[in-house]
């Protein structure tokens, strides 16, 4: 089956696209896009992979679902399109950047494309969602696909930083080899949990310190 995805990722994930679960997933997703409003736009489903090739990944941030409101989802977890009001979780992420680094975030439009271009893979567990129906594309196969992505990164690369916010991301990150990579765990930046361990967790300076220690250029947040 022909899947349009960035070449280095295609090499790593090629076997997945011929598996029965992925064929079933593809049929489901195509039918959803043809019959109702689905986010993100089709061209952005694999945007995280396009902006952050496998060979360039330095940091992985795991999310759960794309945003399900008009004009929000753009293929990068926690991100929204330029000009769209920042969701509460992203507002809290920017607050923590300011507290953690001692200066306001460099990029504030919400798109997070500049993070992705520096090697931050902004990966949702589920890559599509029906409008106004959070979780509507869960348990259709996306989670199996993105589990394979996380496992491939853990096994085939070294000295990555995995940032796992909240119980869902931490469960998904259980396959990561902690002997090879840095795992930063904390509460989720959602307003419901940010005060319970996200604020003050300093993920951004911890990440950059680790990258510099291992000969990498730090991320400009």
| Cross-strand partners of 89 | none
Q: What is the dihedral of CA 61, 190, 33, 41, to 10 degrees?
A: -60
For CA atoms 201, 77, 17, 136, give the dihedral sign: positive
Q: How far apart are CA 172 and CA 15, in angstroms?
A: 21
Tokens of 176: 């990561």
Contact (Cβ atoms closer than 8 angstroms) between residue 127 and residue 9: no
Structure tokens at 104: 């306001």
- Whether 65 is a known active-site residue: answer yes
Give the position of tokens 């022909």: 2
The two structure tokens encoding residue 46: 């694999």
Degrees to nearest 5, angle at CA 174 with 169 and 180: 110
Q: Is the peptide bond before 157 cis (omega within 30 degrees of 0)?
A: no
Question: Residues, the chain, total?
Answer: 221
- Residue 95 and residue 93: Cα distance in Å, rounded? 5
Active-site residue, selected from the candidate residues 65, 111, 177, 208: 65
Catalytic positions, written as ranges: 65
């Amino acid at each position: 089956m022909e899947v349009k995805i960035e070449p280095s990722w295609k090499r790593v994930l090629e076997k997945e696209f011929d598996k029965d679960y992925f064929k079933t997933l593809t049929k489901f997703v195509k039918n959803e896009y043809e019959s109702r409003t689905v986010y993100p736009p089709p061209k952005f489903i694999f945007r995280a992979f396009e902006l952050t090739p496998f060979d360039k990944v330095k940091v992985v941030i795991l999310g759960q679902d794309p945003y399900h409101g008009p004009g929000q989802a753009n293929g990068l977890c926690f991100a929204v399109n330029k000009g769209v009001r920042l969701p509460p979780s992203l507002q809290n992420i920017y607050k923590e950047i300011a507290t953690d680094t001692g200066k306001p975030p460099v990029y504030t439009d919400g798109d997070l494309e500049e993070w992705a271009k520096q090697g931050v893979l902004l990966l949702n567990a589920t890559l599509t969602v029906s409008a106004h129906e959070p979780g509507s594309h869960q348990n259709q196969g996306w989670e199996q696909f993105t589990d394979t992505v996380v496992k491939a990164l853990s096994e085939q690369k070294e000295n990555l930083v995995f940032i796992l916010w909240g119980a869902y991301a931490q469960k998904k990150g259980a396959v990561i080899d902690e002997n090879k990579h840095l795992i930063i765990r904390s509460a989720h930046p959602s307003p419901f949990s940010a005060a319970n361990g996200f604020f003050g967790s300093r993920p951004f300076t911890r990440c950059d310190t680790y990258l510099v220690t291992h000969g990498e250029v730090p991320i400009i947040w």
